[in-house]
Amino acid sequence: MSLELFNHWQQQQLPIYLADELSKLMTDDKAIEDHFYQYVSFGTGGMRGILGPGTNRMNIYTIRRVAEGLARYISSNGEEAKKRGVAIAYDTRHFSYDFAVETARVLGAHGITTYVFKEARPTPQLSFTVRELNAFAGVVITASHNPKQYNGFKVYGEDGAQLVPTGANAIIEHMNQISDIFEIEVTEVNELEHKGLFYWILEELDEKFMNNLLTLKNNNAIDYNMKLVYTPLHGAGLVPVVEGLKQFGFNEVHVVEEQAVQDGAFPTVLYPNPEEAAAFSMAIELGNQVGADILLATDPDADRLGVAVRKGESYELLTGNQLGALLLNYIMQTKQETGTLPTNGAMLKTIVTSELGAAIAAYYGVTTVNTLTGFKYIAEKIAEFEMTKAHTYLFGYEESYGYLIETFARDKDAVQVALKVAEMAAYYSTQGKTLLDALEDLYEQFGYYKEALVSKIFEGKDGQEQMKAILNNYRLDMPSEIAEVTVVRIEDYLTGIATLQDGTTGPINLPKENVLKFILEDKSWIAIRPSGTEPKCKFYFGVVKDSKEQAEEAMEKLVNYLL
């Protein structure tokens, strides 16, 4: 089948760059299979893959296929849905602009209105725009923090959140009915503009997004002269983050100029990922030059934020769990001080995120609600709270550097958080403290929580099967003890069943997903989860002890046992 598809592609009038790449595969049967054995998988978060020719690559034809599936899904919802249309944004990656326009051309061929950003803008701004325009759906072309070889296609529902499984499954069903992607109809942009089906957007949405961002500002006594360094890592965060910091009142914002260039090759970093310490090397260099107190970095689509804090003559990178705990405490504390902390407040976090957040929330009388990994589940809970009034949303986060404060966006928002982190750091600065000092205060109050994440790469078709086998093997022989500590609870999110040490079972009231979590007698835990967007199996670890040294020792035992 792979060879048949390869030959079919060879017979098409492809763009020169795709035709050249395709011709290089002719003598490599394994490469042909990898490029053609499947279509790039599409899930609730959309799809993400390596750029190149073939059905298992991101290119204008696989983009047309998913856009056609989306178009048929929207059309099935009636003329009003088509008229409300689709907002489309894109980051700075290779072909992001082209894929955005191609999406609009396919949607337009079905009579669906599109609103396309003139320039690269953050994913959270797309989420906001869907809501602001009352669009029926949204699309952002991005592969988030993946390496330069990748791009992707994310779909948003009318609430500005990533599409829920029912919508995603409907799109997949429509995609599966497409017999030949080369027969998908597209319409030229100028014709769509003439018909009133295509609109460029930018300035007005920038202004409205900024007005909402400014609602995050507290009137605390803070140090507006604190020195900040910001790097967008060649991505889409540059405009809103720099303008937001300026409008918040910060006078000393220094941008890493080399990384302010929007370039999909990401020439100054190996990975444009603020979770990686290496991504901060140029920010650290500039920070040392100007004497910056904190360094901020956003990924290419500005939904993830990394923060480094000055420590003596160097900088220490905060983990996603640490920054989430600091933000949660700061937000709860300021609300408590101003008398705006609701009695039915709730904090949302994922099942693989540190339990320190839950401890902090309990201290402020705030309920913790756990979700599956993926911000779409946090957004789903926000919508549920709005409908049932059972809780008032206060903050949501996940360990992978994703946070959301205010709900005018419904996806993780590094722009919001960059502004709030700067404010938080400036607030502690007036007390003679850094964010690291504030974190130490939390550890002393709640215990020393430490987390770790180890990812194993499993490339290609064989890799997918290996990942499945790892979890299946655990299910066949569940451990009763890990690193000499008794397992007191096993949570299997695929079956939706939690099993206690004595064998009694109970339901897990969350959607089913291929994740296993082991909770130990000493409150340590391990979770195993194949990534939904990358060829990785992720192993998460969490411990809590009375001291930093004890926590580090316990973590080392856990990691060594499993890996």
**Residues 311-353: tens digit of each pLDDT:** 999 999 999 999 999 999 999 999 999 999 999 999 999 999 9
The distance in angstroms from the start CA to the end CA of the chain is 37
196 Ramachandran zone, left/alpha/beta (phi>0; psi -120 to 50): left
Q: To the nearest whole number, what is the mean pLDDT of the chain?
A: 95
Q: Rounded mean pLDDT of 503-531?
A: 94
What pairs with residue 367 in β-bridges? 346
CATH of 449-562, one of 3.30.310.50, 3.40.50.11540, 3.40.50.280, 3.30.750.24: 3.30.310.50
Which long-range CB contacts under 8 A does 7-15 form with residues at least 24 apart?
8/182, 9/36, 9/53, 9/54, 12/182, 14/53, 15/60
Q: Rounded mean pLDDT of 249-272?
A: 97
pLDDT digits (tens, 9 = 90+) for 216-243: 998 777 899 999 999 999 999 999 999 9
Alpha carbon distances (Å) from 222 to 249, 425, 426, 430, 435: 10, 8, 5, 6, 14
Q: Is pLDDT above 70 for 173?
A: yes
Distance CA 286, CA 292 (A): 8
**Nearest in space to 67 (alpha carbons), one of 164, 175, 169:** 175
Q: Is pLDDT above 80 for 460?
A: no
Say what the alpha-carbon torsion angle 497, 502, 504, 505 is, to the nearest 10 degrees.
Answer: -10
pTM: 0.94
pLDDT of amino acid 534? 67
pLDDT of amino acid 461? 66
Of the listed ranges 41-45, 161-165, 203-207, 280-284, the one predicted with least confidence: 41-45
**Where along the chain do its domains lie?**
38-201, 210-312, 321-446, 449-562
pLDDT digits (tens, 9 = 90+) for 362-417: 999 999 999 999 899 999 999 999 999 999 999 999 999 999 999 999 999 999 99
Q: Rounded mean pLDDT of 212-218?
A: 96
pLDDT of amino acid 492? 96
Q: Answer whether 284's CB lies under 8 Å from 315's CB.
A: yes
Q: Rounded mean pLDDT of 239-267?
A: 97
Q: What is the DSSP string of 370-383?
A: EE-SSHHHHHHHHH
327 Cβ neighbours under 8 A, 6+ residues apart: 395, 397, 403, 405, 417, 420, 421, 424
Q: Rounded mean pLDDT of 469-486?
A: 90
* Domain 321-446: assigned CATH number: 3.40.120.10
User: Which CATH architecture describes the domain 38-201?
Assistant: 3-Layer(aba) Sandwich (3.40)
Q: Is pLDDT above 80 for 361?
A: yes
Distance CA 28, CA 279 (A): 35
pLDDT above 90 covers what percent of the chain?
Answer: 89
Q: Which tokens belong to 301? A: 């689509």
Q: Which tokens belong to 389? A: 């009034």
Distance CA 242, CA 247 (A): 9
pLDDT of amino acid 464? 74
Q: Is pLDDT above 70 for 290?
A: yes
Q: Which helix (H) or strand (E) holds 321?
A: helix 320-337
R_g over Cα of the chain: 24
Distance CA 422, CA 229 (A): 10
Q: Rounded mean pLDDT of 71-98?
A: 98
pLDDT of amino acid 535? 74
Q: Band the pLDDT of 4: cuts 50, 70, 90.
A: very high
Distance CA 271, CA 273 (A): 5
pLDDT of amino acid 533? 59
pLDDT of amino acid 347? 98
pLDDT of amino acid 518? 97
Q: Tell me, yes or no, if 354 is annotated catalytic.
A: no
Q: Rounded mean pLDDT of 546-556?
A: 97
CATH of 210-312, one of 3.40.120.10, 3.40.50.970, 3.40.50.300, 3.30.200.20: 3.40.120.10
Q: Rounded mean pLDDT of 212-219?
A: 93
Q: Band the pLDDT of 210: cuts 50, 70, 90.
A: very high
Same fold for the pair 38-201 and 210-312: yes
Q: What is the DSSP letter of 540?
A: E
pLDDT of amino acid 457? 84
Alpha carbon distances (Å) from 173 to 48, 56, 73, 82, 106: 18, 18, 9, 19, 17
Q: What is the DSSP letter of 496?
A: T
Catalytic residue among 2, 127, 144, 524: 144
Q: Between 218 and 62, whose confidence is greater?
A: 62
Residue holding tokens 């009231």?
Answer: 509
157 Cβ neighbours under 8 A, 6+ residues apart: 130, 137, 138, 163, 164, 167
Q: Which tokens belong to 303? A: 């939904």
Q: What is the DSSP letter of 2?
A: H
